[in-house]
A and B are shown apart, each in its own frame.
Chain A
Amino acid sequence: MTASESVPRPSPSSRQDDFVLEVTDLRTYFDTDDGVLPAVDGVTFSIKRGQTLALVGESGCGKSVTSHSLLRLIQRPGRIVGGKILLHSARAGEIDIAQLKENSRQLFQVRGGLISMIFQEPMTALSPVHTIGDQVTEAIFLHQKVSVAEARRLAIEMLGKVGLSAPEQRFSQYPHEISGGMRQRVVIAMALVCRPELLIADEPTTALDVTIQAQILSLIKTLQREIGCSVLLITHDLGVVAQTADEVAVMYLGRIVEHGPVRELLKNPRHPYTQGLLQSIPALNRGTRLASIPGMVPALTAIPPGCPFHPRCPHAQTGRCDHGGAPPLRPIAPGRDVACLRAEEIAGVAGEVASASGK
């Protein structure tokens, strides 16, 4: 909490190498009757100030557990067993969230104050027995010393910003009186009213229709620019990623298997899992049959040795990919990291596959 306190808040133009969050070797395990499940197993990533990092993957890959770990929302039988979660806050200095004590004042300051979260289901994130106004002002009172009148003014201003018509009237309405899209707007107002430095959006539009999804994604982008916060977007929808993220990290079985700038990663995926994922999408696949990844995701109790993806991988080599530890995430090009032993060898092959499916 010393070094970065003296550092002035950087201007948006010079954000190169300026990170709001650096996660190093995060491990979150769950103790179950079937053994210890490594839901998140050595995840390392960082988020640039003002930018959007998308964490993508299929069900059970650990993307939501990662995001919950960042706010220390993991409950027993889950626990963070290792790693660093360094928040470089412009307001509060440097904080290692993984080391904070449960119920400490600093943890409460982080939750909702420095880092906010919006969830998939707006109805479960809102209390049905409190008015919209109560819920937004509660977020203000938790983090700011303001009068009731001032909190009301701030809340109404925020409700207007997220696009609710007649925010003064909405203030005293209950969540059930408004539509799903409007509810998600209220959740966003609650999350952003304290001007967090990082917003975690966990599948924020998955429950919404496509035209409403477009409105909400555009709203998050606009407010992100206005408040200047970074966004960690958790999603399974590569379309949403392509349209909103700056960088992407792809997760498989609790690990990041590929990371890079959105355009390069989607145009030229280097990990066989990312390649398979992209080829499964009908939009990128103009044949009558979809290419799909053979087999299915193994259980966390039975993670294969060597590269966890090798039993499903078309490029796996016996004697090389199927023993030892999981391959580490390593840089292969500026800004590009891949956890694949054969990334260089299969680059040509992958290019052919990508161009063939693009036709």
Chain B
Amino acid sequence: MRSDSTSHSPPPPATAAAAPPLLSVRGLCRHFPIHGRGFGRKVIGTVRAVDDVSFDLHAGETLGLVGESGSGKTTTARCIMRAITPTSGEVIFHPRDGTAVDLARLPEPALKPLRPRMQMIFQDPFSSLNPRMTVGEIVGEPLVIHGLAKGDELDARVDDILRKVGLKPEHRTSYPHAFSGGQRQRIGIARALIMRPSLIVADEAVSALDVSVQAQVLNLLKDLQAEFQLTYLFVAHNLDVVRHFCDRVAVMYAGRIVELAPTARMFERPLHPYTKALLAAVPWPDPEVKMKFDVPGEIADPSRLPPGCAFHPRCKECYAPCLRHRPELRDATGDGRFAACHRHDPAHASGVEN
């Protein structure tokens, strides 16, 4: 894993912090054209699945990316992994050896040597494992593809990683159907980790699991993060899991980040009205903490976004500027909390504070 540091892009813009973030996403967009019916299938509209998303991911941290269906969180994660090519924007990746590459623009052959550094864990442990391959083949396949190990060395590395994720070397010859959901998710984790990546994108990695198994897998992910200095981009919709697991949280709505803040502060005092609504709607397992049932309306359609702030038709704090201008994500409090809301924008400070 030495010869894979070729850079095909200009160096990234200088960042304020001494150590550059592991990943800098700047102005990331992914638009999907909508084709009409009939001859020529003319483009009649655009779905703005991801629209101008920017954030930094620091080495060793866990950033939660939350939002409801259609908010663009999975598309963002896939653009970063280059499973989808972004329409525009930059995804600057700084691996440990100090070079920087823009993943958004690299051609496919130049991407391959970088792939071991960034791995993905998927939601559904049933459809993400090939039923015709043994566990040993599934877990060892990345090493074979990249030509990094074979024979006894391959077996040894597979055994080693299986132990690390709480499985046994004997499991190497079994097929996925012999395992429960939680164990399958461990297989998926082993496959991601065998390449010793620095970045793990976990897309709803525990959403399909029962709560007691979910706790086991979350503990495992925490342990592995400490052992292998992993950085997680944790895509999830379960806010309870995110509060437990993430250092910082980015909330997405209609393709954009509307709030980004350290976890504890966001859950204590959310700034953006959408974050407030989202947190209030969570049914906490405590009968004394009453949930609010009155979030009106439905999630905005990313092909027909309302003008101004996309959340304004559902927003209780909406006022005149929200109908006309799209709010930018900006530092709202000076302490690392970002919100895209006119109520928290100094330029519109004439409005009511908070």
Residues of chain A having any CB pair with chain B under 8 Å: 58-59, 179-182, 209-215, 217-218, 221, 236-244, 262-263, 266-267, 276-285, 288-293, 296-297
Contacts and interface: CB of A to CB of B under 8 A. Distances in A.
Interface SS of A by simple majority: helix
24 contacts: A58-B210, A181-B298, A211-B68, A211-B278, A214-B291, A214-B292, A215-B293, A217-B283, A236-B210, A239-B240, A239-B285, A240-B283, A243-B287, A266-B285, A266-B286, A277-B212, A278-B285, A280-B211, A280-B215, A282-B215, A283-B285, A284-B286, A292-B212, A292-B216
Contacts of B299: 209, 211-212
B219 interface: yes
B216 to A, nearest CB: 5
A289 B222 contact: yes
Contacts of A276: 212
Given A217-B283, A283-B243, A211 B295 contact: yes
A211 B296 CA distance: 8
Interface in B205-248: 210-216, 218-219, 222, 237, 239-241, 243-245
A267 to B, nearest CB: 8
B165 to A, nearest CB: 15
Interface in B261-297: 277-278, 281-288, 290-295
Contact of A211 (B181, B182, B218, B277): B277
A50 to B, nearest CB: 18
Given A217-B293, A280-B215, A239 B182 contact: no
Contacts of B282: 210, 239
Contacts of B210: 58-59, 236
Contacts of A237: 283
A239 B287 contact: no
B205 to A, nearest CB: 14
Contacts of A215: 293, 295
B283 A277 contact: no
Given A209-B237, A243-B283, A236 B211 contact: yes
B43 to A, nearest CB: 22
A237 B291 CA distance: 14
A242 B286 CA distance: 6
Interface string B173-186: 00000001111000
Given A209-B69, A209-B237, A290-B244, A214 B287 contact: no
B321 to A, nearest CB: 24
Given A58-B211, A238-B211, 7 more contacts: A209-B299, A214-B294, A238-B285, A243-B291, A282-B240, A282-B241, A283-B285
Nearest to B292: A214
Contacts of B277: 211
A210 B244 contact: no
Contacts of B293: 214-215, 217-218, 221
Given A215-B295, A276-B212, A281 B240 contact: yes
A211 B278 CA distance: 6
B214 A280 contact: yes
B295 A283 contact: no
Contacts of A182: 298
B283 A292 contact: no
A68 B244 CA distance: 35
Contacts of A238: 211, 285
A288 B247 CA distance: 12
B285 A284 contact: yes
Given A239-B285, A283-B286, A212 B298 contact: yes
B32 to A, nearest CB: 19
A214 B299 CA distance: 13
Residue among A215, A244, A285, A290 with the highest chain B CB neighbour number at 10 A: A290
B243 to A, nearest CB: 7
A179 B285 CA distance: 28
Given A266-B286, A283-B284, A292 B243 contact: no
A283 B289 CA distance: 11
B298 to A, nearest CB: 6
Contact of A58 (B212, B222, B291): B212
Residue among A284, A292, A293 with the highest chain B CB neighbour number at 10 A: A292
A205 to B, nearest CB: 9
Q: Which 7 A-B pairs have the closest CB atoms?
A: A218-B293, A282-B244, A239-B283, A292-B215, A209-B68, A58-B210, A290-B215
Contacts of A213: 281, 283
B228 to A, nearest CB: 17
Contacts of B212: 58, 276-277, 280, 292-293
A241 B285 contact: yes
Residue among B212, B240, B290 with the highest chain A CB neighbour number at 10 A: B212
A241 B211 CA distance: 14
B244 A285 contact: yes
Nearest to A219: B293
B225 to A, nearest CB: 11
A281 B241 CA distance: 8
Contact of B295 (A179, A214, A221, A243): A214
A272 to B, nearest CB: 12
Residue among B213, B283, B294 with the highest chain A CB neighbour number at 10 A: B283
A182 B180 CA distance: 34
A210 B240 contact: no
Contacts of B241: 282
